[in-house]
Every structure is written in structure tokens, then in C-alpha cells.
Chains A and B, each alone.
Chain A
């Protein structure tokens, strides 16, 4: 007979070490998969995890890929910490992109330092407003935020489709589903010549710092944590649960909106149907891998970003199927959740007693 018991004493250092363990297990598991597929595992892992960042360009690409993941995951950590399951960051990203992109098109041909800040701000507000829909429905009508936020992803996607196909499509673009290229004044400044890394990284770093400040140094952060640990305690303490739910969704949505506007004003430079390769969903893995901790999320976003780049390099050099990248992301999450389970629960193997037979 097997008995599962909750452990009461989980040391914090092990709690933060398990993600690293999960990564090593993933490397090991990945090596086995490569071996089974007929590749030299060491060589394949090298192409997967080292080659992509062996030069400055690769490193800049890693940061570009990690930036939206980090931003969204930081926002999600507010929701997840307080037991609010916002699954629709992808939709909030897209809606932020739509609002920011709309403003960018409005300012088409305008020069001026104020253009970009207005676009970025409107993108953040766009994401925030979109995230408020599931929050308000949850607080006032008791709807399930998982379903509502998830379904709103499709609403945002279809709205973007409609806009780039119809009213916002490039008048000189032969009806292709895309807007004009934004003016130079609406683009994130490039930091180094020849690289694509742009000023959006500063926005991300500032957001990470502010999140840390809010989560660990303010009363609101304390409320968020307490509500996450026990909703009843929070109620007894007299916290205004409804306001808090709306606030965490607003923060989360604003971060996703920022990520969206960073993509369209950064490397993409226009609106089209593919502004996000599901960053909003991948960021959920990032948030948990980073233990919902701002610093942890920075590292987690870099690692998950690397699995994207690695999948490309491995296919170029070894013709490994591109989807191994997703297999790696899945394995990381699997091993993390698996080790978490063993971390929080004890499995006892008891002998069978006579009277049970």
C-alpha cells in the first residue's frame, strides 16, 4: 500500500534549486531523445544550447526572444501568486498590440520624441483594459476566469485578423493582410548597430524591478501573497478581495500589453496576423519555472528563449525536427511539476496489513 503525506518542512533553498534540477533532467532526457533519433547527444545538445549564443548576434537574439516572455511572466506572477488563473495573456498581448499599433498608424508620418512613449503607454493600457474583462466578470458575476480569459484570446486574434485584412491594411500593400510599416519615430531605438536588440529591454528591466518592489516591499504585495496562501485568512484580515483581483489582472494585462507593443514597435515594425508565436502561453511555463519570483523569471525566460533558438540551430546544422524545441519546453515543465510533487509530498511504501487482504 502506498500512502502520500504532505511534507511540512520544505527548505526554501531546495524550493529554488528544483528548477535547476528540472533543467538538468531535461538536458538528460533531451540527450536520450537525440540518441534515439540517431544523433550524437553531446553534439546535438551543443548545437541546441551553446551554438545559438556563441556570438554577440545570437546573444542579442536571445534577449529579444526572452523580453516578451519575461514581461508577460512577471505580470502573470501577480495573478498566479494570488490564485487568479489568467490564462489569456496571449489575448492581452494581442490587444495591447492592436491598441499600440492603432496609435502608431494614427501617428504615421509624425516625427517627435513623444510618439513612441504614447504608443507604448497605449499598448499597456490596451492590455490592461482587456485583462479587466475576466477580472470584472469574476468579481461581480462569479464567472470562471480561466475560461473567460482563454476564450478572449480568440476574440483578440479575430479582431486583429479583421483589422489587418480590412480597415487597417496597407493601402499600397495589394490587400495582403498587414498594415503599413510604422514610421521611424514609432520604432524602438536599436541599441547597437547590426544587432536587433532594442530599448524594450530597459522597459522589461524596470518592470522587473517595480514588480519586485510591489511584491516584496508593499502592503499590496503582502495582500497578494496572503490571498494566495489562504483566501479565508485574507478575508478575516479584512482585505478587499475584489479590488485586489482587479488590480492583479490589470498589472498582468499591462505587462502583456507592453510585450505586444514591444514586439510590433521592435523587431516587427507593423501589425500583421502573426505578431506573437504564442508568447502568452509559453510565458505560463516561464512564470512557474521562475517560481513566480522576478529574478527567477528573468533566468527562466532566458532558458525558454534558448529552446526556441536552439530548435532553429539544431535544424540548420543537424536537421533535427523543429518541434524538439517544444518537446524541451514540455519536458522542463514536466520535470519541474514532478519534482515539486515529490518536494511537497512524501510517498510512503507501507507493507500490506493482514486484515486488508
Chain B
């Protein structure tokens, strides 16, 4: 016990010491839920880490850390081994991150996609992926011939439901007859399940497929079946060159660089970040010219308007499935409503699994 506390005190003194001397040994740690080569979620976080490294800051990562009992140990080890800022990049790390943060008040923690900031050294960050979904909806609404849009969804959490709603609203605006069909796969990454879901949606008449899961399987199925699709997390264009209209890209690099420099220079403050197209945390891969230059121009304009705030993904009037008003005409949904979104808008088929 004594030895442990001694180590702890020494490490705290050590950290205080190095923050005094211009942080020559400043280090940033990353905890990943998957392997760095998953071409999806973790891959993009690792791209962000490389950007931090390119900015002249030392980084370390630990990949494939299960969200169970192991996460706390890994986060604690990073804190103990002299990392000054630690990014934990999966929702399941929320409680372990806060627990470790309590014991290391001089280390800064950043947790992706969570909502708990129990200590002043914990920040949270996420991206407004729904803005990208609005663009997807616009394209899907224009491109569909069968008026059925297939959506492969992971878990019925607000982020996923927000994406479904944003897409449906945008598609309805350009094509009031569209229907959104959803298959819940209850996984973030399972190529087998995802391709089955894609095939099931195509069999039900969907001629546009999109996914809120991370593998490249759905776009590959879409390519084979000759229907349109959209990539997720990273640019998946090369996996389905004909079928993909664009991909929503998670670009964590600017945020990671900014926060790392802030922590190094002592200007880091606790915050809850929710960045979108404007800040570049959500980016769009090049648009497929197969949709015609007019539509590309339209979408590019819409992207600009969403980034500048001229257009909002959730502009009233918005109705739920039963026809009750969710957002009144002329107003937009506030962030609180978006953060807790748990109902479908009108035009989405089926019920949210409970």
C-alpha cells in the first residue's frame, strides 16, 4: 500500500515538475476499441493520432482494449506512465475514464461520445454526424426510383436515431414519397450480419443503402446488386467504386491536434465538444459524378449551408410517426433535444427496439 501511494505521489510530483519545465516530455495516450486496421472507427482515430504526432507531440496508443474490466487498467497505466492527456475513444470507456480521472487530477482526459464529466479534468467530444446524414438523405431522395431507402442501424441510441431522422427529413424534402426501412444488427462491426442486412433491405425493394455500422460489407453488397450506397467513417470508395455516392468521414485530426497543443501549453479547459461540418470533424468524401453535375452542385451548396448554419438538419415542422409535432414550424431542434432523441420522425417504418 505504502509503496503504491509513494509511487502515486512521486508521479504527481513528476507531472507537476514537467509541466513547470515547458513540457519537454509531454505525451498523449490513445485507447482504441478495435484494431488500427479496421478501416472504420478506430482507423480514423489513429489517423487523428498521427496528425498529433506530425505536430511534434509524442503519442502512444493501445488498440483492441475490451470495454469490460480491462479498460480501467489500460487507462490507469497510461496515466501512471507519464501521459499528460489521454483520449478514450469508445462509449464503453465512460465510467473507467471518470474513475481514473479522479485519481490523476493532473492528467487530462477526453472521452469520445460519452456524457459523463464527473471531474474537472474530463472533457467529452463527439461529432455531429447527423449533418452528414442530411446530405445523404438529399442524395438518396433524389436518386431512389423505388422510393425505399434501406438503413442498416447498430444500436437504438440517440446518435443512431438522430442519423435516421436527419436522413429521412432531408430525403422527404426532395421526395415526399420516400420510406425508410431499417434493419437493426446490434453490432458496430460484423461484416456477415451487415451484408445479410444489406441484402434483406435490397430484397425489400431498397435501391439506396446506407449504414451506421463500420465494415465495408454493405457497400460491397450494394455494388454487386447494382444499387446506390454510402460509406461510413472513412472513405470507402475503393470498396464499391460504382455504387458509393459519397462517404461520411470522421475527421478527428484537427480536434486532437488542437486539444493536445492546448494541454501542452496549459490552456486546456474542460468542455463538451460537438463539432460538425463547420469545424471539419464531419467531412464528406468526393461526390460520385454518376449522380449528375446538377445534383452534385445542389449537395455542395447544402453542405455549405449546413456548415455556415444557414440550414439546420432539424428545422420545423417535424412530426413523429403518430403525427405529433416535435419541432414547431420556424424553429430548430436544440442540442438537448438532439442529444436525447428517442423517437422516429414521420416516414420511418417500424418501431424503435426497446
Does B186 lie within 8 Å of A316, measured CB to CB? no
- Chain B residue nearest to A167 (CB atoms) is B354
Pairwise interchain contact B1-A192, C-beta atoms closer than 8 A: yes
**A-B CB contacts (within 8 Å), total count:** 96
Q: How far is the CB of B353 from chain A (nearest CB, A)?
A: 7
Whether A187 sits at the interface, judged by CB under 8 Å, is no
Say yes or no: A174 contacts B340, CB within 8 Å.
Answer: yes
9-residue interface stretch from A133-141, A211-219, A233-241, A271-279? A271-279
Contact at B73–A194, with CB atoms within 8 Å? no
Say whether, besides A175-B342, A268-B68, A166 and B92 are in contact (CB < 8 Å). no
Structural contact, B155 and A316, CB atoms closer than 8 A? no
B68 to nearest A CB, angstroms?
4
Nearest chain-B residue to A325 (Cβ)? B64
Q: Is B74 an interface residue (CB 8 A)?
A: yes
Return chain B residues, CB-CB under 8 Å to A165: 155-156, 186, 353
A177 and B186 contact, CB distance less than 8 A: yes
CB interface residues, B 20-66, toward A, < 8 Å: 29, 35, 60-66
Q: B1-15 interface mask toward A, CB cutoff 8 Å, 1 = contact, 0 = none?
A: 101110110000000
> How many Å lie between the Cα of A319 and that of B29 in the bound state?
12
How distant is the Cα of A309 from the Cα of B35 in the complex, in angstroms? 17
Interface stretch (choices B76-84, B140-148, B220-228, B233-241): B76-84
Cross-interface CB contact of B1 among A56, A174, A277, cutoff 8 Å? A56
Interface pair B69/A64, CB less than 8 Å apart: yes
Contacting B at CB under 8 A, from A185-228, are 192-196
Please judge, given known A-B contacts A161-B186, A194-B4, whether A277 and B354 are in contact too, CB under 8 Å: no
Q: Are A176 and B157 in contact (CB under 8 A)?
A: yes
* CB < 8 Å neighbour of A272 from B68, B73, B115, B354: B68
Cβ of B280 under 8 Å from chain A: no
Contacts of A321 in B (CB 8 A): 63
- The residues of B that contact A9 with a CB separation of less than 8 Å are none
Q: Which of B91-108 contact A (CB under 8 A)?
A: 91-92, 95, 103
Known: A274-B92, A312-B77. A175 touches B62 (CB 8 A): no
Cβ-neighbour of B158 out of A55, A175, A193 (below 8 A): A175
Contact between B62 and A322, CB atoms less than 8 A apart: yes
A296 within 8 A of B: no
The answer, yes or no, to whether B320 is at the interface (CB within 8 Å) is no
| Cα-based distance from A95 to B324 in the complex (angstroms) | 42
Contact between B155 and A276 (Cβ–Cβ < 8 Å)? no
Which of A195, A312, A323 contacts B4 (CB under 8 A)?
A: A195
How long is the Cα–Cα vector from A56 to B6 in the complex, in angstroms?
Answer: 11
Interface string of B150-192 (1 = CB under 8 A from A): 0000011110000000000000000000000000001000000
- Mark A164-184 against chain B: 1 for CB-CB distance below 8 A, else 0: 011000000011111001000
Output the nearest chain A residue to B113 by Cβ-Cβ distance: A176
Whether B70 sits at the interface, judged by CB under 8 Å, is: yes
A316 touches B77 (CB 8 A): yes
A322 to B42, CA, bound (A): 14
A277 to chain B, nearest CB (A): 4
A315 to B61, CA, bound (A): 7
A99-125: CB near B (< 8 Å → 1, else 0) gives 000000000000000000000000000
* Given A55-B4, A61-B73, A194-B5, residue A316 in contact with residue B78 (CB < 8 A): yes
Question: How far is A192 from B157 in the complex, measured between Cα atoms in Å?
Answer: 37
- A308: nearest residue on chain B (CB-CB)? B70
The residues of A that contact B63 with a CB separation of less than 8 Å are 315, 321-322
Q: State how many angstroms separate the Cβ of B22 from the closest Cβ of chain A.
A: 24
Find chain A residues with CB under 8 A from B69 CB: 64, 263, 266-268
Which residues from chain A sit less than 8 Å from chain B, CB to CB?
Answer: 55-57, 61, 64, 161, 165-166, 174-178, 181, 192-196, 263, 266-269, 272, 274-277, 308-309, 312-313, 315-317, 319, 321-323
21 contacts between A and B (CB under 8 A): A57-B80, A165-B155, A165-B156, A166-B354, A174-B157, A174-B340, A175-B157, A175-B352, A194-B1, A195-B4, A272-B68, A272-B92, A274-B92, A309-B73, A312-B73, A312-B77, A316-B60, A316-B62, A319-B61, A322-B64, A323-B64
Beyond A55-B3, A57-B76, A161-B186, 19 additional contacts (C-beta under 8 Å) are: A57-B80, A174-B115, A175-B155, A178-B92, A181-B95, A194-B5, A196-B73, A266-B69, A267-B69, A267-B72, A268-B68, A272-B92, A274-B67, A276-B68, A315-B62, A316-B62, A316-B81, A319-B61, A321-B63
Q: Closest 6 interchain pairs by CB?
A: A267-B69, A277-B66, A274-B68, A56-B4, A274-B67, A175-B156
